[in-house]
Amino acid sequence: MNQQENCSCSKDRIIFPVIQEDSSCCPTYKEDRHIIPGLDQSFVTGSIQTAAGLIPRVSAAWQSRDYWGTIKARWGIGRYNYRIDPGLYALGNPDTNSPVLVTANYKMSFDKLKRELPGRNLWILVLDTKGINVWCAAGHGTFGTKELIERITSSGLKNIVGHRKLIVPQLGAPGVAAHEVKRLSGFKVYYGPVRAKDLSAYLDSGWKATPAMRTVDFPLKERAVLIPIELTDTVKKFLVIAPVLFILSGIGGPEGFWTNTINYGLFAVIALLAAIFSGAVLNPLLLPYLPGQAFSTKGFFIGIVVALILLYLRDADLQTWSGKTETLAWLLMIPAISSFLAMNFTGASTYTSLSGVKKEMRLALPAQIAAACAGFITWIISRLIA
């Protein structure tokens, strides 16, 4: 009776039982049962037989569905469901001496890792990070020491490889205590380079990282790719708020309702869009050049600039009280919204630490809320006294 015939299959994964010597027709399970990722996942190209059972084999090459999945995830479509089964995978045709790389079960992280390793034979140990990338998961604790140790055991890795070495991405270091992993599992952790594109050079050099491989930066390309998902999430809120502002703009003043909405409501919608564009687009693109270290400060600064340009183009009326209050309202609201949206990029940046982010939010969030509320009330007053 071979092991494969005695596996119990589910949609998510395959569990191979370790059968006791005195087992009857109904096998019992030990605590170290091996949990194998699903072989029916769309990106799996085959399998490889090991002492722990059949391990899914994957290819370094991307298929069209991988590109399409990445595009959708960038735009926030199914982003939190873009994940794979945690466990052990084979890239190429690895053996007992092949390296073991650790990553997250966010499929984009997994895909980017294997794409940079064509022609390589190695094992990829995927942790259950709830579909979150390595860096963020390390901060949340899901890419961590406990999960790594549990995944080593549940995958049967000790029976598959003859060495006791793991390559963990450097960005996962905040969540992984190497000495604890060594003490509890016997595996020594090596922190690999920051970027997957440097892995081939890292492996060829005998697992030695150059200073460049250890340098974390946040270039324009990496900042730009974050814009779509921020816009997608923000536009959903815009579609709720914009009609409210448009309708409210019709109140007050000697002119009729529809004339007011065209004169003031349309500008309110444009101003709201400008605030979103400022915080979610201009802020990440111009990030290194904006004053201040805090993201809220950078967002506030670019928000002020955008507000002044917009009000200048509108030829704001500063001769009447209604014109002055409307101008003041948008000078409060646009920078506040821009500042708030700018803080969304802190988790993807090397500019701040976790403690710095928490401190910034404690100080900036109340100020942003106060400014936005004061601006909205001022804008309502400007319509009532028009």
Q: Which residue has the higher pLDDT, 275 or 136?
A: 275
* DSSP letter for each residue of 118-155: TT--EEEEEE--TT--HHHHHHHTSSSHHHHHHHHHHH
Q: How confident is the model at residue 18 (pLDDT cuts 50, 70, 90)?
A: very low
Which residue has 């309110």 as its token pair? 268
- Confidence at 197, pLDDT banded by 50, 70, 90: very high
The angle that helices 266-277 and 227-248 make with each other, rounded to 10 degrees, is: 160
Of the CA atoms within 13 Å of residue 76, those in its CB half-sphere come to: 11
More confident residue, 353 or 121: 121
For the cut 70, the answer to whether the pLDDT of residue 315 exceeds it is yes
Task: Please report, for the chain, how many H helices and E strands are present, in that order.
Answer: 16, 10
Q: What is the mean pLDDT of residues 76-94?
A: 94
pLDDT in the model for residue 348: 59
CA gap 222, 235 in Å, rounded: 21
Assess contact for 159 and 52: CB atoms under 8 A: yes
284-306 confidence digits (pLDDT tens): 999 999 998 889 999 999 999 99
Longest dimension (CA), the chain: 94
Angle between helices 321-342 and 354-384 (to 10 degrees): 160
Strands (E), the chain: 8-9, 13-16, 34-37, 44-50, 53-58, 87-91, 100-104, 122-127, 165-168, 188-191
Please give the pLDDT value at position 21: 33
Question: Under 8 Å CB-to-CB from 121, ≥6 apart: which residues?
Answer: 91, 92, 93, 94, 95, 98
Question: Residue 172's pLDDT is what?
Answer: 93
Using DSSP's 3-state secondary structure scheme, residue 156 falls into: coil
When pLDDT is cut at 50, 70 and 90, the band that residue 31 belongs to is: very low
Q: Cβ neighbours of residue 71 under 8 Å, at least 6 residues apart?
A: none
Long-range contacts of 192-199 (CB under 8 A, 24+ apart): 192/101, 192/167, 192/168, 193/169, 194/169, 194/170, 196/112, 196/113, 196/115, 196/116, 196/117, 196/169, 197/116, 199/101, 199/113, 199/116, 199/117, 199/167
pLDDT exceeds cutoff 90 at 254? no
Q: How confident is the model at residue 358 (pLDDT cuts 50, 70, 90)?
A: confident
Say whether 82 sits in a helix, a strand or coil.
coil
Alpha carbons 69 and 72: distance in angstroms, whole number? 5
What mean pLDDT comes out for the span 304-332? 92
For residue 364, the SS3 value is helix
58 has pLDDT over 90:
yes
